Structure 1
Amino acid sequence: MSFLEVLPLVVVMVAGPQLLSTIFLATSERWRANSAAYVFGAALSISLVVSIVYFLGSSVGGGGGGLLGSSAHQLLYVLVLVLLVYAAVHTYRTRDVSKPPKWMGTLTSATPRFSFRLGFLLLGFFPTDVVTSVSVGTYLAANDDPVTDAAGFVLLTLLVLALPALAVFALGERAEAVLPRIRDWMNDNSWLVSEAVIGLFFVMTLRNLF
């Protein structure tokens, strides 16, 4: 997969609570251990989902067949587009009452064990992340590419997730002053982040359909 193909997928993977969580953890009491545990959990779950889908796709029928036939793929893409339109409308209509999950308020005092579980669950089982990882695994299997070709996708996703902690490590107090402002903006404008993710995924799905 080329960089231009991987980059939009990475944006879909991290946009929303996934990236917001890393900012909270980078400003937590045990930010080094928490950030490392979060990224490690994410690495395991993303790799697991991509690998499972890849080997299932290869066994069912790679070489352009993938997990589904071409007609079934088109029907699935249409269904995804309809759901994305509904999600975009719903997100906009509820923008004034949109709030981040309550558990995010506890991340500043999180433990490495909790951070690991959070990274594993968010990046492995959050709906948009599941669809994205499945798409990567299916794409590779359908084109008879080796599963190792997913390494760029996984590594770039992990790098973006690690950026807040790397910023604190490199910039120290300057990053500690900026990250809370970014965190608060994302808190107050979480619906905009959601709309951006939905819009990006809509474009990607539309491209696959045609």
Structure 2
Amino acid sequence: MSFLEILPLVVVMVAGPQFLSAVFLATSEDWRRNSAAFVGGAALSISLVVALAYALGISAIGQGAPRTGLSAVVLVALLFAMVHTYRTREESEPPRWMGTLGAATPRFSFRLGFLLLGIFPTDLLTSAAVGSYLVSQDAPVTDAAPFVLLTLLVLAAPSLVLLAFGDRAEAVLPKVRNWMNDNAWIVNEVVIAFFVALTLDNLLG
């Protein structure tokens, strides 16, 4: 997958409660361990979903399913993600549980990272789309590594910024959190549409 294909998908993965959670955890009491645990949980769930989708795609090819059929599955998943994002656009307030992240534990943070990046609808569909897309392109599953690593880097960004800039970062992070909270659904729609266009080009080309 090229960088132009990966970057929009990464934005979809993190734009919403995922990045907001990373910001909250970066300013929690035990922020170093919490942030590391959150990213670790995310790494595990993303990798599992991509690998499972890839394995299912390989199995489908082995049973005679056409590669264009896999591209169609990717397209349907992305369109579903667009509809879900639009329907939930008015839910601009962060979930109530985010208010408890200031006193989160590493165990809770790991579980949160695993669940948010593994079963949150847009993330689940995006990771599955990556695995299926690689099969349709006859690419190895290891080609998903840049997608996974870049997603994790973005999730780790709040804590990395805090490490680098200290007090100045503490003043900026809430502003970033508020902007993401207000505009995440628009960002998601734009980047999903971009990948839909890429998938259509693959399907029709």
TM over 0.5: yes
C-alpha separation in 2, matches of 1:78 and 1:145 = 21
- Aligned equivalent of 1:58: 58
Name the residue aligned to 1:209: 200
Q: Where does residue 25 of structure 1 map in the other structure?
A: 25
Check the 8 A contact 2:45/2:117 in 1, yes or no: yes
Residue 139 of structure 2: SS of its match in structure 1?
coil
Q: Which AA in structure 2 matches 1:165?
A: S
Q: Answer whether contact 2:54 2:131 (CA < 8 A) is retained.
A: yes
What is the RMSD computed on CA atoms of the aligned residues? Answer: 2.5
Letter in 2 for 1:42: A
Q: Secondary structure at the match of 1:58?
A: helix
Amino acid in the other structure paired with 1:201 = I
Structure 1: gaps spanning 5 or more residues: none
2:78–2:125 CA contact under 8 A, matched in 1: no
TM-score (norm 1): 0.84
Cα distance in 2, alignment partners of residues 141 and 85 from structure 1: 25
Counterpart Cα distance in 2 of 1:207 and 1:130: 19
**Which of 90, 110, 131 in structure 1 is aligned with 2:104?**
110
- For 2:135 and 2:75, how far apart are their aligned partners in 1? 18
Report if the CA contact (8 A) 2:21-2:98 is conserved. yes
Using the aligned pairs only, state the percent identity. Answer: 60
The verdict on how the C-alpha distance between 1:202 and 1:101 changes in structure 2, with shifts beyond 3 A counting, is same
What does 1:1-210 align with in structure 2 at a 5 Å threshold?
A: 1-61=1-61, 65-66=66-67, 69=69, 73=72, 77=75, 81=79, 84-85=82-83, 87-88=85-86, 90-91=87-88, 94=90, 98-187=92-181, 189=182, 192-210=183-201
Q: CA deviation at 1:174?
A: 1.2
Cα distance, 1:80 vs structure 2: 5.4
Partner AA of 2:200 in structure 1: L
Q: Flag the 1:184–1:4 CA change in 2: closer, same or farther, 3 A.
A: closer
The CA deviation at 1:6 is 0.7
Call closer, same or farther: CA 1:129–1:91 in 2, change over 3 Å.
Answer: closer
Number of corresponding residues: 200
Instruction: Judge conservation of contact 1:164–1:179 (CA < 8 Å) in 2.
Output: yes
Any gaps of 5 or more consecutive residues in structure 2? none
String of CA shifts for 1:88-129, please: whole Å, max 9, x gaps.
2x456x47xx31111111111111111000000001111111
Distance in 1, matches of 2:84 and 2:52, equals 30
Give 2:17's aligned amino acid.
P
Per-residue Cα deviation, 1:124-174 (whole angstroms, up to 9, x for no partner): 111111111111101111222111111111000000100000011111111
